[in-house]
Amino acid sequence: MFFQMCPHLLCFLLLLCVPDTHSAKCPEQCVCDQIQLTVTCNSKNLTHIPPTLDEITVKLDLRGNDIQELPPGAFKHTPYLTHLSLQRCNVRRVKEGAFRGLGRLVFLNLANNNIDILYQESFDGLSSLKQLLIDRNRVEEIQPGAFSQLGFLNLLSLTHNQLVYIPNMAFQGLQNIKWLRLSHNSLNYLDTEALAGLFTLTRLSLDHNELQFFPTETMTRLPEVTRLDLSYNPMTYLGEEVVSMNKLTHLFMDHMSLQDLDPTAFSKSSKLVHLDLGHNQLRVLQPFSEGTSSLARLNLAGNPLSCNCYLRPLREWSIRNKVKLLGTCGGPAHLSGENLEAVHPQELRCQSQEAMLRAEREEAARITPPPTQEPKNKVKCPANCVCEADTHHSSCENRAHTKVPRGFSPDTRLLDLRGNHFHFIPSSSFPGVAQVVSLHLQRCKIVEVEDGAFSGMKGLIYLYLSENDLSSLSPNAFKGLPQLTYLHLEKNRFTGFPRGAFSLVPSLLALHLENNSISRLEPDVLLGAGSLRSLYLTGNAIGNVSPRALEGAGDLDTLHLGGNKLKEVPTEAFSKMGSLRDLRLSGNTIRWVGPNAFRPLERSLKELYLDNMGLEKMSPSSLAGVGPGLRSLFLEGNLLEEVPDLHPLSSLEVINLAHNPLMCDCPLLPLRMWIEKVNLKVRATCANPPELIGRRVKDVQVFRACPGGESLPSPPTVTPKPAKAPKATKPKPMHLKGPRRVKMLKAKRRKGSNTKPTAAKKTTKRRSMA
């Protein structure tokens, strides 16, 4: 009779007996939030996707594991996922259909893995995806149709990969793309249809590539692009009407090699507002022709501008058209350093009337076109190769040549011979091509480069010998290359550093030797490479660095030693590295960083990478000396329970302490005090004591009981609110068994029941009972 009068109470009591099916499906070693429907399994050495994930999981974070392959249907048991993070998981291959069934996923992060090929159906099933990040992988091939199912994608990021070529229609199917990021690759040429079909694209990033000519035909296929970044590409000249983009408003072409450009170069981009030509080699610039009436800012900073009579027309044009000029005069002496905006046109004059007339005659003679010649029908080209007269590109890629072809046009600028079977490069293999700027010899099975193999290539700047079988180089291998600046020798078979091979390359700035088998750096290996600025040795087997190893390259700016077998920081080797700004030691097995480890770099070091090393302890004075200048410090993925005092790092802009087992007790108080003082986002969470696992260091109150911690702010008083149900866009627990138990418990509490709630804790952490 009583239960007939109180049917709701009967229902409530019965539901209390229903087991909590949700909390029982949290994988071991993971942290599950049953309210937010998130699962976090960071850095747990997982080798596969956990099979016991709750079906209603919305966000899954698997960063820092060892999931080398994503098989078909890898996430078929979690169809409600909206966010998936797989950074730093050593993923090498995404098999076709790996993401099928994830029709609700909107965010996918695959950055910092080892993916080299994007297969045709790798991303099938991601019909709602809006952001796809594949940065810092090894992608060198995009198969046709790889993105064909991503019709709602807004952002595609492929920065810091190994792309040298993009096939036609590579991005077909991206019907809503807004921003495509291809920065920091090795692209030297874009086919006409490489970016075709991207009708909604508004922003394109192609900076830090190897484009030597503006890809006019390719860009005309992008009708909606308003912002284009081509900075840090080795272009030297812009021709007539080369930039023809109707809606372009912002164009960045700084830090290139521009020496001259035609006055009509931008006349077909009538909406251009901001043009950045900073840090090029421009001495004189003519006023732009009609068609650039919208231009408001022209950045010429960092150019060696001659502020004489030849610059006067540009200054008068800028005043007349209200274009703000940024930059300073490089000469003559009385105007050197003056802002362009502060120089009056009347001040821009040559030394005398006679000198002016003479200079004008010389200029007229220089620009007078030569007599019209009979047009040539075709450019000179060897058999089984393709040569283009308009771009000065010649390619014999993947043509099974066993000897280096000869007979290329003397006007050739880019020569692509990759994918052949040369085995060795004889002496003087490239006669008559002195103007070649970029030479590609990747994947040619080259075992030997004979002395003087490239002799006569006086204009060569980029040389690619990657992915061959080289194990040694003679001191005369690169003889006759006075302009060689960037040399790629990664993925060969070097077991020792090729000592002496670079002494005849006076202009060498960047040397790539990643992914070889070099075991040690012996004394004076860089002797003769005095111009070297960047040395990349990631992914070798280096276990020892001699104190004198880096002598001879005192101006070295960047040194990458990640992924080697170092046991300690090679402090002595840095003793004469007064210019080193970027040092990367990630992925070595350095367990201890001793006192003054980076003291020799105290005046120059800006970026320091000590992540994912298994680092257990740092001396309190390990960072002594680098404080005032250091801007970025990466310590994530280590075994640190404490960190040294960071207060001296007064210029720090980025710090990462994530995935360290920090002990949130009094020894960590200096870190807590520092976090309170700086205006930085600090990723640091407690791993001990157990009751504080997963809490942010900034949020725990244990430090207020430590000596000196009394000044820390008290936690704000917050009136607890009943937990809200997930939003309608997320799957709700009520869709599964026993939903009403949670709902009715909340209703009961709102009525003021004195019964203490015991169900549905906010977070659950499963541990082994063993």
CA–CA distance, 113 with 91 (Å, rounded to integer): 5
pLDDT band with cut points at 50, 70 and 90 for residue 731 = low
**Does the N-terminal peptide bond of residue 689 adopt cis geometry, omega within 30 degrees of 0?**
yes
Q: What confidence score (pLDDT) does residue 355 get?
A: 55
What CATH number has the domain bearing residue 257? 3.80.10.10
Q: What is the pLDDT of residue 267?
A: 92
Q: What is the pLDDT of residue 371?
A: 44
**Residue with more model confidence, 475 or 722:** 475
State the distance between the two ends of the chain, measured CA to CA, in whole angstroms.
Answer: 48
The strand pairing partners of 699, in sequence order, are: none
Assigned domain for 339 exists:
yes
Question: Which letter does DSSP use for residue 387 in this model?
Answer: E
Rounded Cα distance, 484 and 335, in Å: 34
Q: Residue 343 — φ and ψ, nearest 5°? A: -90, 125
Q: What is the mean pLDDT of residues 195-206?
A: 95
Q: Exposure string (b/e) for 623-648, b if CB count within 10 Å is 16 or more?
A: bbbbbebbebbbbbbbebbebbebeb
CA distance 60 to 40: 6
Which residue reads 């293999």 in tokens? 429
Omega before 71 within 30 of 0, i.e. cis: no
Tokens for 450?
């004979």
Q: What does the block give as tokens for 206?
A: 């192609």
331 occurs within a structural domain:
yes
As a whole number, mean pLDDT of residues 410-415 equals 89
- Beta carbons within 10 angstroms of residue 690's beta carbon: 9
Residue 647 lies in a domain: no
Smallest CA-to-CA distance from 56 within 30, 82, 31 is with: 82
Q: How confident is the model at residue 716 (pLDDT cuts 50, 70, 90)?
A: low
pLDDT at residue number 310: 87
Closest CA to 341 of 366, 294, 382, 305: 305
**Span 351-356, mean pLDDT?**
54
Question: Residue for token digits 């909340």?
Answer: 746
Q: Are 597 and 573 in contact (CB under 8 A)?
A: no
Q: Is 167 part of a structural domain of the chain?
A: no
- Residue 758 pLDDT > 70: no
Is the pLDDT reported for residue 596 higher than 70? Answer: yes
Average pLDDT, the chain: 85
Q: Cα separation of 622 and 638, whole Å? A: 16
- At 115, list the tokens: 């993916």
State the DSSP code for 358.
Answer: H
Q: CB–CB of 116/92 below 8 Å?
A: yes
DSSP state of 288: P
Residue 240 confidence (pLDDT) above 80: yes
Q: What is the DSSP string of 232-270?
A: S----EE-TT----TT--EEE--SS---EE-TTTTTT-T
Distance CA 200, CA 672 (A): 46
Q: What angle do CA 203, 204, 208 make, to 5 degrees?
A: 140
Distance, in Å, from the CA atom of 770 to the CA atom of 760, rounded to the nearest integer, reads 25
Q: How confident is the model at residue 97 (pLDDT cuts 50, 70, 90)?
A: confident
Nearest to 492 by CA among 509, 477, 507: 477
Q: List pLDDT tens digits, range 498-513.
A: 988 888 898 898 899 9
- Asked whether residue 214 carries a pLDDT value surpassing 90, the answer given is yes
* Predicted pLDDT of residue 623: 93
Point out which residues pair with 298 in neighbouring strands.
275, 325
What pLDDT is attached to residue 354? 56
Write out pLDDT tens, residues 168-184.
Answer: 888 988 999 999 999 99
CB atoms within 10 A of CB 93: 16
The pTM of this model reads 0.52
Question: Total structural domains in the chain?
Answer: 1
**Is residue 424 pLDDT above 60, yes or no?**
yes
Angle (CA) 138 88 179, round 5°: 60
User: What does the block give as tokens for 237?
Assistant: 């000249």
- The model's pLDDT over 292-336, given as tens digits with 9 standing for 90+, comes to 889 999 999 999 999 998 898 999 999 999 999 999 999 888 888
Amino acid at 460: L
- Please give the Cα distance from 705 to 666 (Å, whole number): 8
CA 630/CA 622 separation, integer angstroms = 13
Position 256 in a domain: yes
d(CA 453, CA 439): 13
- Distance CA(439)–CA(751), nearest Å, equals 78
Residue ranges making up the domain that contains 276: 238-346
Instruction: For residue range 467-485, list pLDDT tens digits in order.
Output: 999 999 999 999 999 989 8
With beta carbons less than 8 A apart as the criterion, state whether 485 and 508 touch: yes
Q: Does any domain span residue 269?
A: yes
Looking at 697-765, list the stretches that DSSP marks H as alpha helix, in order from N- to C-terminal side: 739-750
Which has more confidence, 540 or 626? 540
Q: What is the pLDDT of residue 762?
A: 39
- Distance, in Å, from the CA atom of 279 to the CA atom of 254, rounded to the nearest integer, reads 6
The answer to whether residue 330 is domain-embedded is yes
Closest C-alpha among 183, 184, 124, 133 to residue 156 = 133
**Any domain includes 314:** yes
378-390 confidence digits (pLDDT tens): 688 999 999 988 7
| 12 pLDDT more than 90 | no
